[in-house]
Amino acid sequence: MTDVAPIEPTALIQEMGRRARAASAALALAPTATKATALRAAAQALRTHEAAVLAANREDMARGEANGLTGAMLDRLKLTPQRIEDIAAGLEAVAGLPDPVGEEIDRTRRPNGLVLSRVRVPLGVVGIIYESRPNVTADAGGLAMMAGNAAILRGGSEARASNGAIHVCLQQGLIQAGLPEDAIQLVPVSDRAAVGAMLGAAGLIDIIIPRGGKSLVARVQAEAKVPVLAHLDGIVHLYIDKAADPQMARDLALNAKMRRTGICGAMETLLIDRAFADSLPVLAAIADSGCELRGTDEVRAIEPRATPASAEDWDTEYLDAILSAKFVDGVDEAMTHIATHGSHHTDAIVTEDAATAERFLNQVDSAIVVWNASTQFADGGELGLGAEIGIATGRLHARGPVALEGLTTYKWLVKGTGQTRP
Amino acid sequence: MTDVAPIEPTALIQEMGRRARAASAALALAPTATKATALRAAAQALRTHEAAVLAANREDMARGEANGLTGAMLDRLKLTPQRIEDIAAGLEAVAGLPDPVGEEIDRTRRPNGLVLSRVRVPLGVVGIIYESRPNVTADAGGLAMMAGNAAILRGGSEARASNGAIHVCLQQGLIQAGLPEDAIQLVPVSDRAAVGAMLGAAGLIDIIIPRGGKSLVARVQAEAKVPVLAHLDGIVHLYIDKAADPQMARDLALNAKMRRTGICGAMETLLIDRAFADSLPVLAAIADSGCELRGTDEVRAIEPRATPASAEDWDTEYLDAILSAKFVDGVDEAMTHIATHGSHHTDAIVTEDAATAERFLNQVDSAIVVWNASTQFADGGELGLGAEIGIATGRLHARGPVALEGLTTYKWLVKGTGQTRP
């Protein structure tokens, strides 16, 4: 697959946006079963066309290897029969989720007899800008569509053949369900100007969701004229309170850091009450696990394998087997550290003291605040949403993991019997 | 009152933003009763200092007259003992509203025993930019504070003495309740650069709410790097279906247009099913009421007092005793007209046919959709919110009238007993 002939990106995105808006009107009224049919048919198309998807992916992989992509990037790009099956199963799982569209949020009757309700409706047109993982084409496009939205997808150039092949399957699903093909569109050019055109498409695109590395998210947040749901950093803290169960603290710290080090819910900084300075085995356990430990002098005195932490360490999301650690004087100093260095993503406390936990849960200003559990539960699936299109650390609209409900808004319905306002 | 010595506006707003952020941390944890005490004490201070507020207002009025403000602008600016009492009573009404902060939106228990809940928390720092009505100082500042937010208020220069005097009363209320004075700050300079600094204060101000004319709102929407809740236009339609009760249609049209012509929920365009071309008395009633009628040739053939409507009329928010009118072939053409010319604010249908009404309620993509009632109910008080800080026609966060709940966000609380993620 080669790019189509050069098109002026702004004109291209405007035309795609107009088609998306038209499609979104049909999507907004589509019954749940129709949308689910489209997703299940798309899943089936992915299985049927597995060979074509794998062939397209081999083309991307060969070009990526020739272009010197790192091993981690190639791994994100690579599709296998298992990964294609996972994508298909993911579409089927979304098809089975409760449809938020049409849900009545509340209903009241006014003294004058007016009946008021707020009812969930789709957001409209969702733009998704992502990098090398081709599964996002199906995951994000499918989730946006299931919430009744039209989606405009702009994947990374390194995955363009794979994205195109997956997109064909999504469109087959839409056609089979009788929904407009334009409900899920893939930007056919991979130059960065198309991203700029999407970010400037206020009025055509209702929300932009970036999925990728920090430089992509930072660019989107800086340039977008369209509202953005995203998180830039996940500087995740675990605080071990003096009233923590030591064994639980050790287990949670190891899981929060080492289960997977590259996800946004992975712990990056460990804060330990100074009461534990002599007795807690957690630092040794972290070092034993193969994690690089960077700490204050106090930490290094207890765990000699730790190297000195610099000032930047407290503001760094490693996304790797590296942990910064320090001792604090109780929950207040921990919360001050989190307020100063955190990223409003996910922060946790380990304590058996319910009053201390309540203070932490109330005062820490993060999208997800955790008591006595691993920070790696910061995920839409784990938090019961069935899926996620991303995690938002902004304060407006949706916060934390965003799935179907976060991809909707609401309108007010006012039903009367001829009431005039006095 | 004179402006303070020139301060670089960006530095000023950044300093105010930092102080607001610090105050917002205390506000977020303030009990409902404390916030209510502050509002009631502020109301009492307004009554106690009525003479001082009126004196400040006379200063603004004299300057406004000298500067040639229009009669309408002077009326918006003017305070009277009754208007001051209304402002005080408004603060007391907000003090009695249910506090959304801390409300549990939902709660689930996962199979692994984790208990998840979403709990409402304040947005943080709310910026309010408004024009000549000094009551906004108290109305908006009080509502933002009751929802646990710090507020940065930037009123119009023509009302600066009045705003300053009202602000002193708000701060007295805060002090009496033991809350930080910085919870409600008034920008002490009236140059437009302060507005620009607020619009650029991403990270310091969490949301901007403009209250004023179209040019203010348009500037805020175009320039803001901070999320905005607002509506630019209220091009409000009333569609009289062929199954409408003619008497109800006439009453609703008259009320929707003429009760108050200058509010955003006032009807601007009347759409009538062609089935009524010969028989509906509504056009004559509108003309009789003193409203200027602009219509198509069909309308003019029936109501000779109508003047010809131009193409721009269908896209115009008159905010005056002027109405555009046309006939349509049924609800579908009405909905197409609304989709083409509407502003996603408030649109209404008059019909006795429930199926037609349901189609209209479902398909019309406006913040407020009304069946058999006046469009002038588009108001936070009338829709049961007890107050409003504005009406939003955007799609994100809050839609329609925005009051206490719309000034909050939520966070996820995850409570475990040591769960690690497998």
DSSP A366: S
Under an 8 A CB cutoff, do A368 and B255 touch? no
The answer to whether the beta carbons of residues B52 and B165 sit under 8 Å apart is yes
Q: How far apart are CA B104 and CA B90, in angstroms?
A: 27
pLDDT tens figures, B333-362: 999 999 999 999 999 999 999 999 999 999
My answer on whether B249 and B223 are in the same domain is no
- With contacts defined as CB-CB under 8 Å, which chain B residues touch A236? none
Spacing of C-alpha A270 from chain mean position? 24
The answer to whether the beta carbons of residues A232 and A392 sit under 8 Å apart is no
Under an 8 A CB cutoff, do B110 and A382 touch? yes
CATH of the domain at A279: 3.40.309.10
Q: How far apart are CA A169 and CA A176, in angstroms?
A: 11
Q: How far apart are CA A358 and CA B379, in angstroms?
A: 37
Confidence of residue B1 (pLDDT cuts 50, 70, 90): very low
Q: How far apart are CA A80 and CA A162, in angstroms?
A: 11
Task: Tell me which residue of A381, A370, A401 sits closest to A248, measured CA to CA.
Answer: A370
Residues 6+ apart with CB under 8 A from B355: none
The answer to whether the beta carbons of residues A314 and A324 sit under 8 Å apart is yes
B340: contact with A, CB 8 A cutoff: no
pLDDT at site A318: 95
Task: Tell me which residue of A260, A286, A261, A262 sits closest to A272, measured CA to CA.
Answer: A286
Under an 8 A CB cutoff, do B420 and A251 touch? yes
Under an 8 A CB cutoff, do B110 and A409 touch? no
A63-74: burial string, b at 16+ Cβ within 10 Å, e else: bbeeeebeeebe
- With contacts defined as CB-CB under 8 Å, which chain B residues touch A366? 411
Query: Rounded to a whole number, what is the distance in Å from the CA of A215 to chain B's nearest CA?
Result: 18
Q: How far apart are CA A182 and CA B231, in angstroms?
A: 29
Q: How far apart are CA B229 and CA B399, in angstroms?
A: 9
Under an 8 A CB cutoff, do A116 and B29 touch? no
**Is pLDDT of B116 > 90?**
yes
pLDDT tens figures, B230-251: 888 899 999 999 999 999 999 9
Task: Tell me which residue of A275, A223, A209, A206 sits closest to B395, measured CA to CA.
Answer: A206
Q: How many CB atoms lie within 10 A of CB A294?
A: 22
My answer on whether B269 and B215 are in the same domain is no
| Residue A389 belongs to some domain of the structure | no
My answer on whether A216 and A242 are in the same domain is no
| Residue B113 belongs to some domain of the structure | yes
| Stretch (H or E) spanning A294 | strand A292-295
My answer on whether A226 and A242 are in the same domain is no
Nearest CB to A396 within list B227, B371, B376: B227
pLDDT at site B176: 98
Under an 8 A CB cutoff, do B419 and A374 touch? yes
pLDDT at site A301: 94
User: Which amino acid would we find at residue A118?
Assistant: R
B363: contact with A, CB 8 A cutoff: yes
Nearest CB to B396 within list A207, A259, A361: A207
My answer on whether B290 and B169 are in the same domain is no
Chunk chain A into consecutive blocks of 10 residues (it has 422) and report each block's average pLDDT, rounded to whole numbers. Answer: 65 95 96 98 98 98 95 93 97 97 97 97 97 94 98 95 98 98 91 89 94 91 90 94 97 97 95 90 95 96 96 96 97 97 97 98 97 97 92 93 96 98 96
pLDDT at site B2: 47
Q: How far apart are CA B163 and CA B57, in angstroms?
A: 9
My answer on whether A210 and A286 are in the same domain is no
Nearest CB to A124 within list B28, B363, B395: B395
| Residue B79 belongs to some domain of the structure | yes
Burial class (CB in 10 A: 0-12, 13-18, 19+), A168: middle
Strand extents, DSSP E, B110-213? 115-122, 125-130, 150-154, 184-186, 207-211
- Beta bridge partner(s), residue A115: A109, A415
Residues 194 through 253 of chain B touching chain A, CB cutoff 8 Å: 206-207, 227, 245, 248, 251-252
CATH of the domain at B25: 3.40.605.10
Query: Rounded to a whole number, what is the distance in Å from the CA of B235 to chain A's nearest CA?
Result: 17
My answer on whether A200 and A81 are in the same domain is yes
Nearest CB to B411 within list A25, A123, A366: A366
Under an 8 A CB cutoff, do B396 and A395 touch? no
pLDDT at site B6: 60
Alpha-carbon torsion angle B360, B362, B365, B371, nearest 10:
50
My answer on whether A118 and A257 are in the same domain is no
Under an 8 A CB cutoff, do B418 and A251 touch? yes
| Residue A197 belongs to some domain of the structure | yes
**Is pLDDT of B134 > 80?**
yes
Structure tokens that stand for B304 in this block: 């000779």
Which domain, by its residues, includes B22? 9-230+400-413
pLDDT at site A2: 47
Query: What interface predicted TM-score (ipTM) does this complex get?
Result: 0.94
pLDDT at site A6: 60
pLDDT at site A406: 96
Spacing of C-alpha B266 from chain mean position? 14
Under an 8 A CB cutoff, do A397 and B396 touch? yes
Q: How far apart are CA A207 and CA A407, in angstroms?
A: 9
My answer on whether A57 and A39 are in the same domain is yes
Distances, alpha carbon B279 to alpha carbons B12, B108, B246, B247, B257, in Å: 63, 57, 9, 11, 20
Q: How far apart are CA A41 and CA A44, in angstroms?
A: 5
Residues 6+ apart with CB under 8 A from A309: A294, A295, A296, A299, A324, A325, A326
Q: Where are the alpha helices (DSSP H) in A246-353?
A: 246-258, 282-288, 297-302, 330-341
**Is pLDDT of B3 > 80?**
no
- With contacts defined as CB-CB under 8 Å, which chain A residues touch B418? 245, 248, 251-252, 372-373
User: Which amino acid would we find at residue B85?
Assistant: E
Structure tokens that stand for B94 in this block: 């907000």
B369: contact with A, CB 8 A cutoff: yes
| Residue A131 belongs to some domain of the structure | yes
Does this model's pTM top 0.80?
yes
Residue with tokens 């020739």: A66
**Is pLDDT of B365 > 70?**
yes
B359-374: burial string, b at 16+ Cβ within 10 Å, e else: bbbbbbbbbbbbbbbb
Residue of A nearest to B28 (CA): A363
A2: contact with B, CB 8 A cutoff: no
A377: contact with B, CB 8 A cutoff: yes
Task: Tell me which residue of B195, B189, B149, B129 sits closest to B7, measured CA to CA.
Answer: B189
- With contacts defined as CB-CB under 8 Å, which chain A residues touch B254? 420
B414: contact with A, CB 8 A cutoff: yes
Under an 8 A CB cutoff, do A383 and B245 touch? no
A359: contact with B, CB 8 A cutoff: no
Under an 8 A CB cutoff, do B365 and A252 touch? no
Collect contacts of A103-109 with beta carbons under 8 A, ≥24 apart.
A105/A410, A108/B384
The answer to whether the beta carbons of residues A240 and A280 sit under 8 Å apart is yes
- With contacts defined as CB-CB under 8 Å, which chain B residues touch A419? 372-374, 377
User: Which amino acid would we find at residue B416?
Assistant: G
Task: Tell me which residue of A44, A144, A52 sits closest to A85, measured CA to CA.
Answer: A44
pLDDT tens figures, B70-95: 998 899 999 999 999 999 999 999 99
Q: How far apart are CA A341 and CA A269, in angstroms?
A: 10
Residue of A nearest to B383 (CA): A116
My answer on whether B169 and B286 are in the same domain is no
DSSP A153: E
Q: What is the mean pLDDT of residues B141-162?
A: 96
Alpha-carbon torsion angle B204, B207, B213, B219, nearest 10:
60
Q: Hey, of A21, A123, A358, A421, which one would you mutate to test binding to chain B, going by the most B CBs within 10 A of its CB?
A: A421
| Residue B358 belongs to some domain of the structure | yes
Task: Say how many domains are in chain A.
Answer: 2
- With contacts defined as CB-CB under 8 Å, which chain A residues touch B251? 418, 420
Task: Tell me which residue of B246, B65, B112 sits closest to A374, measured CA to CA.
Answer: B112
The answer to whether the beta carbons of residues A199 and A227 sit under 8 Å apart is no
A259: contact with B, CB 8 A cutoff: yes
- With contacts defined as CB-CB under 8 Å, which chain B residues touch A417? 372-373
| Residue B1 belongs to some domain of the structure | no
Q: Hey, of A120, A358, A377, A414, which one would you mutate to test binding to chain B, going by the most B CBs within 10 A of its CB?
A: A414
Q: How far apart are CA B224 and CA B289, in angstroms?
A: 41
My answer on whether B204 and B89 are in the same domain is yes
| Residue B184 belongs to some domain of the structure | yes
User: Which amino acid would we find at residue A207?
Assistant: I
Residues 6+ apart with CB under 8 A from A307: A292, A293, A294, A295, A300
B101: contact with A, CB 8 A cutoff: no
What DSSP string describes B255-279?
HHHHS-TTSTTSEEEEEEEGGGTTT
My answer on whether A225 and A341 are in the same domain is no
Residues 142 through 201 of chain A touching chain B, CB cutoff 8 Å: none
Structure tokens that stand for A398 in this block: 């949706």
Q: How far apart are CA B119 and CA B139, in angstroms?
A: 26
What DSSP string describes B308-334?
EPPGGGGG----SSEEEEEEESHHHHH
Q: How far apart are CA B240 and CA B303, in angstroms?
A: 17
| Distance spanning both ends of chain A, measured CA to CA | 65
Q: What is the mean pLDDT of residues B156-160?
A: 94
Task: Tell me which residue of A136, A46, A36 sits closest to A88, measured CA to CA.
Answer: A46
Q: For chain B, what's the residue count?
A: 422
DSSP B137: H
The answer to whether the beta carbons of residues A104 and A412 sit under 8 Å apart is no
Q: How far apart are CA A341 and CA A207, in angstroms?
A: 28
